[in-house]
Amino acid sequence: MNSWFTVKVKYTKQLDNGTFKRVSEPYLLAAMTFTDAEARIYEELGSIIRGEFVVTNIARTDFHDIFQYEDSDTWFKCKITYESQDADNEKQKKVAQNFLIGAHSVKEAFDRLQESLATLMVDFQIPSIIVSPIVEIFPYNEELDKEISRKPMKPIEEEVISIGKPVFSAPGSDLDDEDFEDEDADDDDLDSEMENEYSEE
């Protein structure tokens, strides 16, 4: 099954004023494994980034859904919480889920998330909305998988919600409710989640 991975890439970027700067930028993509994520990022960025670039970090990232809007290229990480009944002991427990949504501001991200989740059948709160450093998102690409001779994978389901905005979901990314509890880490703490084998020497 595909999951979302945040991949950090370091390269020399030409700025708007013509100068060059060494930068490290995170990208989000759907892949089956860490190795698959690394292969995919080289394929995806090979024609975008001029010159050499190196993958410095790869981390599995849990997003329940991603809401993309064509009028914005800034991403906001939104956290919602709600009460759910535990099937084992019938007690109420707090569940947290993360969403990624395109918007121009925190207020717009809040409004768009409320609108996108209007059909959710539970009362929820939005305790956190922060700007995400993610530069670009690469959903599952069946043709690219064929080009680099990987085994066929179940494609990401692309749904259209009631307001007509596309939603990207990675099968397998919806972890058990317990896995989302007490998840308050910001994107600044992303490096602490990285696998050592992909860390920059």
195 within some domain: no
142: how many CB neighbours lie within 10 A of its CB? Answer: 11
Q: What is the pTM of this model?
A: 0.68
177 within some domain: yes
112 within some domain: yes
- Contacts of 57 by beta carbon, 8 Å cutoff, 6+ apart: 6, 7, 8, 190, 191, 194, 198, 199, 200
198 within some domain: no
Domain count, the chain: 1
User: How many Å apart are CA 121 and CA 139, to the nearest integer?
Assistant: 27
Cβ-contact 68, 137 below 8 angstroms: yes
136 within some domain: yes
197 within some domain: no
Structural domain harbouring 122: 3-184
Q: In the prediction, which pLDDT does 53 show?
A: 93
pLDDT in tens, 49-94: 888 899 999 999 999 999 999 898 899 999 999 998 777 777 888 9
pLDDT in tens, 140-188: 766 555 444 444 444 444 433 333 344 554 444 444 444 434 444 444 4
